[in-house]
């Protein structure tokens, strides 16, 4: 089996750590952070440079990256995700527990009379909680990865928050009962909003004994796309674990189109907007000309940095766009590098198993991240960035796509 180590590649692809912008200007302060939902003049067939502001100035500091992250958030919402509303004025919680099973009743509303409620369930480990409370893994729809002992789990019925049956699901679900059927938020954006309200409710519920600094989110396939979105937009999530998220997840739109053009039958942007309501209707305007997007999904994943993320992909399913996911996460990894925490990002891509079936041979990599970022153990998460290199008709040539170089942000 061919194993391509991403860390080794990055040494070759990014030999210098100097960053410059075409204008030669350097961004010095983020006291003012101008954001925009679009950049009409943008056009780049390569993967865009994450270390350049909307105005072409370079990002050199962590403070500046915080501003750049806000710009990326606004762009992704503007082009493909729709508007993510802030915390509503009214959030409350009720908690009930029997043995190791519990229910967290979450109520959120714009007014006292315009409210919605939902009730995710929690399963606790046996025994007394550790100091600070139990770590928690929130799973979209259901767990598809193994969880080591000592961690609570929550099942989040994200399809109740925003339906995802087909195009007829647009504007259907609890979120749209609150914000209206014409809200621009896609189903995945509505799911993020629900995750945030769950964490709000946990903050209001000390009796739940959840460690609010050690929360992870996971999901597989369409729910893996959603888990990645949640990790990107909700900064209280410590660890994000997308599984086989494919196109619209840890792949890049440009790379998926290249795979399709190379002869692989993958899901690309022009198809995905016809399948379901995971993206805003505005995204339909750009799927036939992806180069005008002033971002790609290496930006989306990079919003998680410096927090932790490990994603898993399956090369047996070409539809998931395997070259695109590896290339996209290769590009995203430069952001963790620039922030000085490359060990906080992992990617593992193998075959030999069914879709959303997690092979036990990957437990070591998964548990290394869970043990480190949820259980506080001193585990080694370096060099967990590999692929088997099975990309069908497509060839990954990094220099064709990554045309920038990055320096460590100070």
Identify the helix (H) or strand (E) that includes residue 160. Answer: helix 158-161
With H, G, I as helix, E, B as strand and everything else as coil, classify residue 208.
helix
Instruction: Give the residue ranges of DSSP H helices in 43-179.
Output: 62-76, 158-161, 174-179
Largest CA distance in the chain: 62
Catalytic residue among 221, 247, 280, 311: 221
Q: What is the rounded CA–CA span in Å between residue 43 and residue 404? A: 16
Q: What is the rounded CA–CA span in Å between residue 315 and residue 354? A: 10
- Give how far Cα 120 sits from Cα of 102, 161, 187, 211, Å: 9, 11, 18, 17
- Which residues lie closer than 8 Å to 89 by C-beta, 6 or more apart? 109, 110, 111
Q: What is the rounded CA–CA span in Å between residue 137 and residue 140? A: 10
**Catalytic-residue membership of 221:** yes
Residue 199 region by backbone torsions, left for phi larger than 0, else alpha for psi between -120 and 50, else beta: alpha
**Catalytic-residue membership of 298:** no
**Phi and psi dihedrals of 224, rounded to 5?**
-70, -40
Q: Are 251 and 314 in contact (CB under 8 A)?
A: no
- Give how far Cα 309 sits from Cα of 263, 366, 372, Å: 30, 10, 12
Catalytic residue among 90, 353, 355, 407: 355
Residue positions annotated with a catalytic role:
221, 355
């Amino acid at each position: 089996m061919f194993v391509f180590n991403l860390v080794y590649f990055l040494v070759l692809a990014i030999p210098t750590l100097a960053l410059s912008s075409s204008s030669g200007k350097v961004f010095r302060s983020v006291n003012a952070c101008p954001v925009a939902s679009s950049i009409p003049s943008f056009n780049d067939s390569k993967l865009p440079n994450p270390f350049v502001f909307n105005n072409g100035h370079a990002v050199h500091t962590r403070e500046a990256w915080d501003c750049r992250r806000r710009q990326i958030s606004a762009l992704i919402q503007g082009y493909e995700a729709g508007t993510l509303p802030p915390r509503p004025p009214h959030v409350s919680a009720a908690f009930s527990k029997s043995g190791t099973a519990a229910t967290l009743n979450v109520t959120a509303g714009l007014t006292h009379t315009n409210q919605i409620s939902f009730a995710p369930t929690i399963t606790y480990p046996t025994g007394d909680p550790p100091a600070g409370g139990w770590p928690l893994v929130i799973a979209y729809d259901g767990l598809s990865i193994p969880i080591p002992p000592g961690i609570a789990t929550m099942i989040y019925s994200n399809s109740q928050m925003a339906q995802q049956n087909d195009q007829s699901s647009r504007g259907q679900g609890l979120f749209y009962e609150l914000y209206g059927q014409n809200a621009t938020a896609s189903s995945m954006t509505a799911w993020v909003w629900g995750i945030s309200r769950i964490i709000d409710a946990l903050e209001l519920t000390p009796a739940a004994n959840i460690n609010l600094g050690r929360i992870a989110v996971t999901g597989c396939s369409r729910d893996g796309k959603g888990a990645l979105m949640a990790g990107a937009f909700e900064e209280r999530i410590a660890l994000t674990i997308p599984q086989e998220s494919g196109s619209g997840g840890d792949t890049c739109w440009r790379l998926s189109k290249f795979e399709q053009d190379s002869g692989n039958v993958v899901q690309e942007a022009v198809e995905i907007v016809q399948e379901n309501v995971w993206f805003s209707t505005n995204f339909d305007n750009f799927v036939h000309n992806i180069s005008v997007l002033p971002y790609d999904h290496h930006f989306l994943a990079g919003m998680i940095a410096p927090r932790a993320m490990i994603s898993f992909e399956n090369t047996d399913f070409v539809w998931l766009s395997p070259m695109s996911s590896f290339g996209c996460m290769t590009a995203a990894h430069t952001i963790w590098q620039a922030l000085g925490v490359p060990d906080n990002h992992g990617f593992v891509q193998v075959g030999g198993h069914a879709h959303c079936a997690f092979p036990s041979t990957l437990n070591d990599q998964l548990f290394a991240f869970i043990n480190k970022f949820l259980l506080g153990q001193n585990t080694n998460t370096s060099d967990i960035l590999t692929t088997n290199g099975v990309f069908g008709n497509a060839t990954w040539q990094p220099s064709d796509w990554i045309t920038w170089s990055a320096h460590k942000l100070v």
